[in-house]
Amino acid sequence: MPASAVSRLEDADETVRLSAIGDRAGLLGVEIADVAGLVSDLSAISQQQGLQADAARSAASELNATTAQLSRTMAVTREAAAEARQILDQSAATLSDVVTRSSGTMVALSEGAMAFQTSLEGVAENVAGVQRASAAIAQIARETKLLALNASVEAARAGEAGRGFAIIANAVKSLADQIQGFSGQTVAHLSDLGEALGHLQQQARSNGEAAQQAIKDSEAAGEASATLEELVDSVGRLVVDIDDMAQPVEQSIEGFETMQGELAALADGVSACRTHLEKAEQRTQTILGISEDFMLFLVQAGVETADAPFIDLVRARADDISELFSAAVARGDISMGELFDEAYRDIAGSNPKQMLTRYTAFTDRVLPALQEPVLGFDRRIAFCAAVDRNGYLPTHNQIYSQKQGADPVWNAANCRNRRIFNDRTGLSAGRSTKPFLLQTYRRDMGGGQFALMKDCSAPIMVNGRHWGGLRLAYKV
């Protein structure tokens, strides 16, 4: 075999081997990206666990303090209840004695008032009898006086013979006048006495009613005394219950102290684990960066890889956008100041938040014609969109540029234009000035599902000034 043929075969074998190396490097990058995503997830979970452990430790500490305060409060309450029980016990005994004596006194007073009322009624009857007798005596005196008057007349007619009879008649008349006078005074006195007795009877009835009410009040006071005794018993039971509760509370305090120690150890362990995971995440990101640089080296060295068509496509389209932007500035369609505007203005009511710049309307007019055709290059392509240096994506593909609705979850998936994507992949794509950048990352598909994606980007330059990058994402 000629030497030239042998040389061509060796070159072909070398190309195959280099291509295989490139493919393996690409697979290695995918695996590293997957591991980096898992480590990042574990780091986030560990951070959340650390926060939860700290919260649990803080809650246990607060609960322990609360329980200790409860124990102290229960002790104070028990002392107060015991003291109250003693005071109530003494008060109940004193009140019971007072009520018993008062009740007896009230009964005696009531009986005396009723007896006095009865006596007054008897006296009133006697006075009425005397009044009737006095009236009869007055009648007799009037009749006697009339009789004496008749006798005097007859004696005068009899002359000398009736003189003695006239003297007797005068004496009888004089006596009748005296009796009538005394009878009138007696009637007046008896009238005053009757009126006084009427007032006494009315007062006696009032006193009797008051005495009866006092007896009822004494009975109510007796019931209150019995209620007070029941209260004493209740307070006594309360003291016993507090004593029964105190022991579990003390045991809870001991248990919480033990749990605090265990939670502190758990929190320290989670913190240490989080520290290690953060270091692991940093190292996996470093390894991922090395893998990306290695892919750049292989492509620049002329090694053909499976990603080469996507790399060539994104570089060519990024150059087209660079020329389009530069030509627009030259024509005066937009100024450099407007094109490099970073004063992002929030769109009111947007969720997730969308923003506008002075060049958003410009990119909405010119970028779709360059970005949309890229989606038909390969069915694995998910999107093709330009971002500025801060990850701001003004104009997305039409499928991801829907009008926002009321559901922020739907908006997040379908309204991805005019938003800032400042994660590692987005910022790296926007800020890289290398000929191209091939990144591998996990895309969150929702519901805990992830899809491995590759993000190939190339810088966009406008009149020698770095504007951002064109991102081309496709499924692995």
Listed residue (437, 468, 461) closest to 300, CA to CA: 437
Is 378 part of a structural domain of the chain? yes
pLDDT tens for each residue of the chain, 476 residues long: 555 544 544 444 444 454 555 555 555 555 555 555 555 666 667 667 767 767 776 776 776 777 777 677 767 776 776 776 677 677 666 756 765 666 666 666 666 666 666 766 776 676 676 667 667 766 776 777 677 677 777 777 776 766 666 677 677 667 667 776 766 777 676 677 667 767 766 776 776 677 677 666 666 666 666 776 676 677 677 667 777 776 776 776 767 667 767 767 776 776 777 676 666 655 665 665 565 555 555 555 556 678 999 999 999 999 999 999 999 999 999 999 999 999 999 999 999 999 999 999 999 999 999 999 999 999 999 999 999 999 999 999 999 999 999 999 999 999 999 999 999 999 999 999 999 999 988 776 555 677 788 999 999 999 999 999 999 999 98
Q: List the structure tokens of 276.
A: 């290690």
Three-class secondary structure of residue 436 per DSSP: coil
In contact, 297 and 45? CB cutoff 8 Å = no
DSSP letter (8 states) at residue 422: -
Number of separate domains in the chain: 2
Name beta bridge partners: 460: 468
Q: In one letter, which amino acid is 171? A: A
Looking at the structure, tell me whether residues 353 and 436 fall in a common domain: yes
Q: Is the pTM of this model over 0.95?
A: no
437 — phi, psi (to 5°)?
A: -135, 125
Residues 6+ apart with CB under 8 A from 84: 235
Looking at the structure, tell me whether residues 364 and 469 fall in a common domain: yes
Range of the domain at 340: 306-475
CATH, residue 346: 3.30.450.20
CATH, residue 210: 1.10.287.950
Looking at the structure, tell me whether residues 347 and 463 fall in a common domain: yes
Listed residue (459, 441, 153) closest to 321, CA to CA: 459
Looking at the structure, tell me whether residues 71 and 211 fall in a common domain: yes
Neighbours of 383 (CB within 10 A): 19
Listed residue (98, 97, 102) closest to 211, CA to CA: 102
Question: Peptide bond before 248: cis, by omega within 30 degrees of 0?
Answer: no
The CB-side HSE value for 31 (13 A sphere, CA atoms) comes to: 6
Listed residue (467, 349, 342) closest to 404, CA to CA: 349
Domain boundary among 239, 258, 277: 258
Is 26 part of a structural domain of the chain? no
Interatomic CA distance for residues 131 and 142, integer angstroms: 17
The residue written with tokens 């104070």 in the block is 76
Question: How far from chain centre, in Å, is Cα 165?
Answer: 121
Is 37 part of a structural domain of the chain? no
